[in-house]
Structure 1
Amino acid sequence: MPPARPPRPLRRPGSPLATRPGPWPSAIEDDAPPPSLRIQLSALQALCRQVFGARLAVIALGVPFAMSGAADGAPRYAVLAAGVLGFMGSYAMLRDWERFGPRVLAHPTLMGLDLLVGSILLLTASPASPLGYVAVCTPLLAGLLYGWRGAGVFTGLQIVALLTAYRAWETRPGSASSTALLAGFCVAAGIIGVTLRNLMFRFGSATRALAEAHADLAVRDAVESERARLAREMHDSVAKTLHGLALSAEALAATADRTDPQTLRHRAEEVARAARRAAAESRTLLHDLRGTTGPGTDLLVELDALVDDFRTRTGLAATLRTDPDPLRRPALADRVVHETATIVAEALENAHRHARATHVTVTVTLAAEALAVSVTDDGSGLGTGPVTPDCARLAALRARGRFGLLGMAERAAALGAALRIAPAPAGAPGTTVHLTLPRPVPRPLPEADHAR
């Protein structure tokens, strides 16, 4: 039985990580696929700046050696000019990498000009001087910036420059050993530069692929969240109203031939009101989808209108109990008011349709730490034991298609509120839906409200 092949790493189609099939390549196997210019500049910025900083210091220390080894006249001025150019070039790359880095990446001849300037200084200062270490910086930078081909070309040119400097200073003690050591350092620096380049590029590409994957997951989560929100809105508004409209229309059609005109007119007005309510709820949903909101609403005003409409539509006795002190009226955001009112509306509809209640009480209490809203009915109830968003009984209700309770739990979770649906105390019929919101900031009413 052949040995199992090790699993391949996950790679996004079309990304730089997907250009090479199979296991991850070695950092020194070949040049990593170059990512975008922005990733290249970001990946190489710290390393190249450190190399240019070290090169800047070496040039500052080694120029006096080069000046002392140059003949008077034009040679000395040429060495001075080369020292100034090398110093200013390294300083510019160190100071403003974002501006000059793309030019060096796009034009390797600039690195060749830098090599020529360093070779002039090295030729007049000898390989044994501090300027010898400038020779090591060139292959290292070439490997970081251009990969294997660039490292090979500039390492070869730098070794030629070292041999030329050695021929000029071969009579000086230590020149041979210094030249051989620097040549070995140049080869090693080129390999190290390419290795670091490949590692940084692959790390940058992997980081980009990971960021894209996170972005895709965030988009999917946002889409799923929006779908769930739309399902709640449709269930709690338009779908419910249209269901009631259909029932009213069916009843009207079934009894039209044996109903007196006054009753028929009354039922037709009920159908018209239900249709207008569905249209208004559809407009509200469209405004929400387009990101537009209406004027701010007060929770107590909203609940009062909700209870009054419920009482008119169903004929059930419904009462709203609130704090008698108007100065303690809570200031809530429109979204909180909307979600809270929708939870209360769903609780009222459940009491009417499923619990067969005869009386419903909505209570709003502003406590020290929280705002509590409860809906209590005297209907058949849910049985024994409370129903909370994380209990198994709610999962069973979801499985039976009780999307109203599911929507209530999701809305409460979106507000950071606690929702508890519990049967009435022992001996009393009915159910209590209790919603606890974080305590809002009390606000004074406008002067007109005080006058009333």
Structure 2
Amino acid sequence: MIALAAPAALLHAAPGLGVRLVGVAVVVTFMVSYVLFRDWERFGPLLLRHPSLLAADTLLGSLLLVSAGPDTTLAYVSVCTPLLAGLVYSWRGAACFASLQGLILLLVHATLKADRHAPVAEALLLPGLCVISGAMGSTLRGLMLRFGAATQALTTTQARLAAAEAVSAERARLAREMHDSVAKTLYGVALAADGLAATASAESPDPVRVRSEADLVSRSARRAAAESRELLRDLRQEAAPESRDEAPLWPELRSYAHDFTARTGLPVTCALPPPEAPPLPLPSPLARHLLSITAEALENVQRHASATHVEVRAGIHGHLLRLSVHDDGTGLPPDTTLDRLRASGHFGLLGMVERAAQAGARIRIGRGDRERGTEVRVELPLPIVAGPERRHR
């Protein structure tokens, strides 16, 4: 608008000094407005601390207004000054600059149209617009400040919710790790110690069996200590991206089944790819989740199923890695739900469901297509697993 008003101001200016003054006023006013518009984050605080800068800009603009006249576009540009003052200086600044700009417009109108007997309404139109624009600027300032305060409060609330969710997720992870490692191993130590006590208290204890059971207690205790150290190391180490080291799944599953049979005496049948089959390398976090689900399913068989046989199956079916643990025991009660298990202090099934969700897998716990017993089936989409295995196949 200043650029559009500049030709009219220069044409109406008196030759010589008048044209020079108007030209200087055009350049200065235009550059100041452009700099404020381009670098408001930098010069806005300066303008906020020094209202005299806006007053000087207003006076320079009045030179253009005197030369161009109140009927040009520059007269309507001047109405924006109280608007800016209201945004920057609140209602006090809006009132001050609306009064100053309105007085300048009245003086210009009275000076340039003194011989035309212009109506009073025409003389008061632009000063009235200055008052209205100043009130609008002050109102917009209040709305912007309230919006900023609401945005800041929302950001603070979101940050607190994110922190609370992170703490809750970490607590759930620690609970799963404790349940699946230390707590379970200590339970095995207690069972082994009970067996050792029963063997040692017999009338004629078998030294070989006593030695074997004592060795089992010792190994279980060392395993619990190692798991505790590993858990403490995870807690103390700095946050880092999850390791992408690959872990072979099939040998680990066979080892779990063998250890379970040696510890409990329950036979476990493994239906896994043969040892000569290409290995299926998994990222360590995914392999850990699947192995923890398998270990928890086997532990539940020992504690609750009253089973005589367990079957562990795993393989690739189409685009899925399918893992299942089935026993021929009594099965789950018909009214079993995760909420009831959580309320009663049983967190094994809940931990399996959470681990499957973290791995991006689907888990199903129930009878399945069998006549009796319980089946824990996990299906992991193959693209999440390893590309090399798919390309090999």
Normalised by the shorter chain, which TM-score bucket? 0.7 to 0.9
SS in 1 for 2:273: coil
1:443 & 1:201 partners in 2: Cα distance?
Answer: 53
Distance 1:212 1:236, change over 3 A: same
Question: Does structure 2 conserve the Cα–Cα contact (< 8 Å) formed by 1:356 and 1:380?
Answer: yes
Match of residue 274 from structure 1: 220
1:354 lines up with 2:299 in the alignment: no
Question: Does structure 2 conserve the Cα–Cα contact (< 8 Å) formed by 1:169 and 1:175?
Answer: no
Match of residue 333 from structure 1: 283
Q: Which amino acid aligns with 1:104?
A: L
1:393 & 1:185 partners in 2: Cα distance?
Answer: 70
Distance 1:299 1:288, change over 3 A: farther
> Post-superposition shift, 1:307?
1.7
Distance 1:430 1:166, change over 3 A: closer
> Post-superposition shift, 1:186?
0.3
Question: Does structure 2 conserve the Cα–Cα contact (< 8 Å) formed by 1:371 and 1:437?
Answer: yes
1:319 lines up with 2:263 in the alignment: no
Of 347, 361, 382, the residue aligned with 1:439 is 382
> Post-superposition shift, 1:100?
2.2
1:126 & 1:442 partners in 2: Cα distance?
Answer: 78
2:275 & 2:190 partners in 1: Cα distance?
Answer: 42
Of 138, 142, 145, the residue aligned with 1:198 is 142
Residue-by-residue CA offset, 1:168-204 (whole Å, 9 max, x unaligned): 2133544865431110110000011111111122112
Match of residue 45 from structure 2: 102
1:371 & 1:219 partners in 2: Cα distance?
Answer: 34
Question: Does structure 2 conserve the Cα–Cα contact (< 8 Å) formed by 1:367 and 1:439?
Answer: no
1:116 lines up with 2:66 in the alignment: no
* Percentage of pairs with the same residue: 49
1:396 & 1:160 partners in 2: Cα distance?
Answer: 78
SS in 2 for 1:297: strand
Distance 1:226 1:415, change over 3 A: same
1:363 lines up with 2:318 in the alignment: no
Question: Does structure 1 conserve the Cα–Cα contact (< 8 Å) formed by 2:282 and 2:386?
Answer: no
Q: Which amino acid aligns with 1:276?
A: R
- TM-score w.r.t. length of structure 2: 0.87
Distance 1:195 1:327, change over 3 A: farther
Residue-by-residue CA offset, 1:56-91 (whole Å, 9 max, x unaligned): xx2112222222333233332122111100111112
Q: Which amino acid aligns with 1:431?
A: T
Residue-by-residue CA offset, 1:331-389 (whole Å, 9 max, x unaligned): 43222111111110011111112223232221002111311100112223225x6xxxx
> Post-superposition shift, 1:442?
5.2
Of 190, 213, 234, the residue aligned with 1:246 is 190
Unaligned runs of 5+ in 1: 1-57, 386-390, 446-452
Match of residue 6 from structure 1: none
Residue-by-residue CA offset, 1:272-296 (whole Å, 9 max, x unaligned): 2112211222233234433466743
Match of residue 418 from structure 1: 362
Match of residue 299 from structure 1: 249
Q: Which amino acid aligns with 1:206?
A: A
Of 16, 35, 45, the residue aligned with 1:73 is 16
2:19 & 2:295 partners in 1: Cα distance?
Answer: 93
Question: Does structure 1 conserve the Cα–Cα contact (< 8 Å) formed by 2:364 and 2:376?
Answer: yes
Distance 1:172 1:215, change over 3 A: farther
2:285 & 2:91 partners in 1: Cα distance?
Answer: 60
The size of the alignment, in residue pairs, is 381
Question: Does structure 1 conserve the Cα–Cα contact (< 8 Å) formed by 2:313 and 2:324?
Answer: yes
* Residue range with higher mean Cα deviation, 165-174 or 247-256: 247-256
> Post-superposition shift, 1:125?
2.0
2:24 & 2:178 partners in 1: Cα distance?
Answer: 78
Q: Which amino acid aligns with 1:278?
A: A
> Post-superposition shift, 1:414?
2.5
Distance 1:175 1:90, change over 3 A: farther
Q: Which amino acid aligns with 2:181?
A: S
1:356 & 1:170 partners in 2: Cα distance?
Answer: 108
Residue-by-residue CA offset, 1:97-152 (whole Å, 9 max, x unaligned): 23322322232222111111111111222222222112201101101111101101
Match of residue 50 from structure 1: none
Superposed CA RMSD in Å reads: 2.6
Match of residue 78 from structure 2: 135
2:368 & 2:15 partners in 1: Cα distance?
Answer: 107
Question: Does structure 2 conserve the Cα–Cα contact (< 8 Å) formed by 1:327 and 1:444?
Answer: no
* Greater RCO, CA 8 A, separation 6+: 1
Match of residue 152 from structure 2: 208
Unaligned runs of 5+ in 2: none
> Post-superposition shift, 1:417?
2.2
Question: Does structure 2 conserve the Cα–Cα contact (< 8 Å) formed by 1:60 and 1:87?
Answer: yes
1:398 lines up with 2:349 in the alignment: no
2:133 & 2:276 partners in 1: Cα distance?
Answer: 79
Question: Does structure 2 conserve the Cα–Cα contact (< 8 Å) formed by 1:136 and 1:189?
Answer: yes
1:208 & 1:134 partners in 2: Cα distance?
Answer: 34
Question: Does structure 2 conserve the Cα–Cα contact (< 8 Å) formed by 1:233 and 1:285?
Answer: yes
Q: Which amino acid aligns with 1:239?
A: A
Question: Does structure 1 conserve the Cα–Cα contact (< 8 Å) formed by 2:247 and 2:281?
Answer: no
Match of residue 331 from structure 2: 381
2:388 & 2:90 partners in 1: Cα distance?
Answer: 70
1:316 & 1:215 partners in 2: Cα distance?
Answer: 50
Question: Does structure 1 conserve the Cα–Cα contact (< 8 Å) formed by 2:86 and 2:141?
Answer: yes
1:158 lines up with 2:101 in the alignment: yes
2:142 & 2:361 partners in 1: Cα distance?
Answer: 51
